[in-house]
Amino acid sequence: METTNKVYLQPTPVRIWHWLNAFGIITLIVTGAQIRFPEYISLLTSYKSAILLHNTAGLMVAVSFSLWFFYYGLVARSIRKIYVPTKDDLQFGILRQAKFYLLTYFLGWKNPHHATPDDKFNPMQKSAYMAIMFVLMPLVALTGILLTNVSPLRELVILVGGLKLLVAAHFLLACSLCAFLFTHVYLATLGKTPMAYIKPMWTGWEEVEPGEHSHHTP
Amino acid sequence: MTMRTQPKRTIWLACLILTLALPLAALAVENSDCLGCHADADTVGKTFRIDPVTFDTTAHAEVGCQECHASVTDKHPDDGATPSKANCQDCHDAIGAEYAGSNHHGNATCNDCHNPHVARGATAVSGVDMNRQCEGCHGNLDMVLKHAEWLPQADLHIAMLPCVSCHTASQDNVITMYIIKRSLTGDRKLATFAELKEQAGGKSIQSLIDRNEDNYISLAELRMFNLDSENHTLRLQGMITPEKVTHDFRTLDNRWDCSFCHASGPAARQTSFVSLIQEDGSYLRIAAEKGAVMDALYGTPDFYMVGATRSKMLDYIGMVIIAGGMVMPIGHGTLRFLTRKNRQHKEEE
């Protein structure tokens, strides 16, 4: 009989943070779509409630983002280790991982990256998350904060190019994050079973085969 | 006989008319007679001073001083009599009746909001000026707090909209753009005529934006105005203004629905104007290209109503980005499904 080992991959604060973000970001996408296209989308009963919910969810995700940055950057000081690709990652790792996703996965080979609590992300994930967490998220949050405080921050709004430019940037950044979400959710199903990577984000524990480390998380 | 009596009769008739009309003509008081004293605060005091330039642009100037102050004779002010004042409803009876049914009636008289010596038509004043009538009673901070109970971005709405855009029975609203000037201290206010005159440098101020002065502002002219480095202290600011101002101050049901303004489509909001200040302080509306502000990314950088002013091009780019995100799930997912046996074999091995 095959025994399975369990690795505690996702600590409780990380899981709470992840699902709060997930809930917040989905709310932002739905309400944001209604705010931009009110004549086509009316999931919420009124435009006003869409705005209020969007602003609230935006604030929640911005606070959650700040907590993440504060914790990993200043408390745990592991932001560089977890999120910044190493020289080896850039030279070989990304290519190796891309080869797996685009070719060897279909041939039934194993994932070349084995996630551990200290080395959660594969080289491609590191690059993707770095772009998401250091570029897209801060920019979408900052443009959102400016847009919810146009009157008090008027000078700043004009300094960055005016409302139209700000709205355009906020919209395109949001579309990029939305595009990432599809890829993110899909990649989460690429484990041994479709739920293999999703479960640890809920329970914290990942089941791994004997003699093997944990797989990556998406 | 007939030939001789005809001219005689005509002369007699002319004399009769002259005799009757002369005293009347002597009694008639011209506006200029009144303004001879009333334009000067030192002579009549601040309260009774009337700015002749402003007054001259009002419809009331055409009617004439004496039409409203009928009791004034050429003996004024030596006769010591207090001049009579007309009742506004004598001419504006329909507005009076409408106002009588509003909740303002009893709280403010016509004169509390309108100085008849200054009052101009709704399209000849700026949106900011429109709000001055309201600010006399409704303080800005109070209004922001009251609206913030339900209205998102209440401070922005109060600052950027004439109150009557919502508090009126006007069905149609248009977009009116005004030229704002940024002072050295960073304040942004409606540009004065003198400021624009200086900016135009000898040309008409209309040529600042309507370059070919054809009384029509094209999309290209709007863009040029905003991008012209000569105008870097000037900006266009858009406001939603009602086409017709009513005095019932009703808030129509559709005004509670944000998408009345914040959605694209309604034809009325494709209509826009640039309103230019004139030497006498009044505003002149110049029509802008249909849909101009809707699609011009640089057209009015300070004016954005999500929905109505969104750029279609950006919508398409956004859709392409989102579709790009689906390439992985759909493309990879299809290949994954087709090659599922490979992974099962490996599992079995």
Is B317 touching A (CB cutoff 8 A)? Answer: yes
Which candidate from B235, B306, B333 shows the least CB-CB separation from A186?
B333
What proportion of chain B, given as a percentage, has pLDDT over 70? 86
pLDDT score, position B13: 67
What domains are there in chain A, each with its CATH number? 7-84+121-208 (1.20.950.20)
pLDDT score, position A142: 96
Would you place residue B98 in the very low, low, confident or very high pLDDT band (cuts 50, 70, 90)?
very high
Mean pLDDT, chain A, whole residue set = 85
Site from A175, A178, A183 to mutate, B interface, most B CB atoms within 10 angstroms: A175
Is B216 touching A (CB cutoff 8 A)? Answer: no
Which range, A19-33, B217-231, B249-263, B309-323, is most confident? A19-33
pLDDT digits (tens, 9 = 90+) for B30-77: 888 888 899 888 888 888 999 888 888 888 988 899 889 988 888 888
Which candidate from A101, A165, A174 shows the least CB-CB separation from B301?
A165
pLDDT tops 60 at residue B265: yes
Which candidate from A164, A176, A186 shows the least CB-CB separation from B328?
A186
Higher pLDDT, B161 or B299: B161
pLDDT digits (tens, 9 = 90+) for B136-157: 899 999 999 999 988 888 998 9
Ranges A175-189, B177-191, B257-271: which has the least confidence: B257-271
Query: What ipTM was estimated for this complex?
Result: 0.87
Ranges A118-127, B25-34, B233-242: which has the least confidence: B25-34
Distance from CA of A106 to the nearest CA of B (A): 6
Would you place residue B26 in the very low, low, confident or very high pLDDT band (cuts 50, 70, 90)?
very low
| Contacts of residue B272, Cβ cutoff 8 Å, sequence gap at least 6 | B174, B175, B176, B177, B238, B287, B288, B289, B290, B292, B293
- The structure's pTM equals 0.80
Do strands B216-217 and B234-242 pair parallel, antiparallel, or not at all (unpaired)?
unpaired
Is B225 touching A (CB cutoff 8 A)? Answer: no
Chain B residues touching residue A55 (CB < 8 angstroms): 152
Helix (H) or strand (E) holding B236: strand B234-242
pLDDT tops 70 at residue B6: no
| Chain A residue with Cα closest to B157 | A151
Interface contact flag, A36 B306, Cβ < 8 Å: yes
Q: How far apart are CA B35 and CA B39, in angstroms?
A: 5
Would you place residue A205 in the very low, low, confident or very high pLDDT band (cuts 50, 70, 90)?
confident
pLDDT score, position A1: 44
| Chain B residue with Cα closest to A52 | B152
| Chain A residue with Cα closest to B150 | A48
pLDDT score, position B206: 93
**Range 142-161 of B in CB contact (< 8 A) with A:** 150-153, 155-156, 159
Ranges A61-70, A112-121, B162-171, B183-192: which has the least confidence: A112-121
Distance from CA of A152 to the nearest CA of B (A): 9
Query: What is the pLDDT averaged over residues A158-168?
Result: 86
Interface contact flag, B321 A176, Cβ < 8 Å: yes
| Chain A residue with Cα closest to B347 | A108
pLDDT score, position A214: 47
Would you place residue B1 in the very low, low, confident or very high pLDDT band (cuts 50, 70, 90)?
very low
pLDDT score, position B2: 44
Q: Are B259 and B297 in contact (CB under 8 A)?
A: no
Query: What is the pLDDT averaged over residues B73-100?
Result: 89
Interface contact flag, B297 A175, Cβ < 8 Å: no
Handedness of CA A38, A40, A41, A44 (dihedral sign): positive
Higher pLDDT, B80 or B17: B80
Query: What is the pLDDT averaged over residues B283-287?
Result: 93
**CB pairs A-B closer than 8 Å:** 124
Which candidate from A108, A151, A163 shows the least CB-CB separation from B342?
A108
* Secondary structure (DSSP) of B126-181: -HHHHHHHHHTTS-HHHHHHHHHTT-TTHHHHHHHS-GGGTSS----EEEEEEEEE
Would you place residue A210 in the very low, low, confident or very high pLDDT band (cuts 50, 70, 90)?
low
What proportion of chain A, given as a percentage, has pLDDT over 70? 94
Partners of B272 in the β-ladder: B175, B288
Q: How far apart are CA B189 and CA B235, in angstroms?
A: 10
| Chain B residue with Cα closest to A37 | B307
Q: How far apart are CA B213 and CA B202, in angstroms?
A: 15
Interface contact flag, A38 B156, Cβ < 8 Å: no
Query: What is the pLDDT averaged over residues B279-307?
Result: 74
Q: How far apart are CA B58 and CA B306, in angstroms?
A: 37
pLDDT score, position B258: 84
| Closest-CA residue to A34 (of A14, A22, A49, A19) | A49
Which range, A12-16, A167-171, B77-81, is most confident? A167-171
Interface contact flag, B322 A39, Cβ < 8 Å: no
Would you place residue B294 in the very low, low, confident or very high pLDDT band (cuts 50, 70, 90)?
low
Q: How far apart are CA A117 and CA A104, in angstroms?
A: 25
Would you place residue A209 in the very low, low, confident or very high pLDDT band (cuts 50, 70, 90)?
low
Chain A residues touching residue B336 (CB < 8 angstroms): 105-106, 190
Partners of B170 in the β-ladder: none
| Chain B residue with Cα closest to A158 | B302
